Amino acid sequence: MADREIQRMTKSRLHGTHEHVTHIGNPNAYPPWRWPLGQVVASIDAGSDTFFIQDHSVGLRVDVGVVRPVSGKPYLRASIDGVWTDNLLAIQEY
């Protein structure tokens, strides 16, 4: 199982009120990587990879998981001690 740090993300460019993450990656990893949302969800579901971001303001590792709404597609969200946050949307964009 690989433990992957997320340093960049790409948001949707919809004209609506809700943005969502379409890709995540790390250009500083070796090798650099950038994956679409579907690949990340499948990897988490299979137990192949774990994903996290570093919150440098407080020095915490923030795990990223899959949220499955009753209606709609799965999406990614950061979680600190089981509490969902919007930290993922705050990281730098590609």
Question: Over the stretch 32-75, which tens digit does the pLDDT of each residue have?
Answer: 999 999 999 999 999 999 999 987 777 788 899 999 999 888 98
Domain segments of the chain as ranges: 2-90
Which pTM value belongs to this model? 0.86
By CB atoms closer than 10 A (0-12, 13-18, 19+), residue 43 is middle
Pairing mode of beta strands 21-26, 33-36 = antiparallel
- pLDDT at res. 1: 82
Assign 58 to helix, strand or coil: coil
Question: Over the stretch 18-35, which tens digit does the pLDDT of each residue have?
Answer: 778 899 999 999 999 999
Read off φ and ψ for residue 48, nearest 5 degrees.
-80, -35
Assign 86 to helix, strand or coil: coil
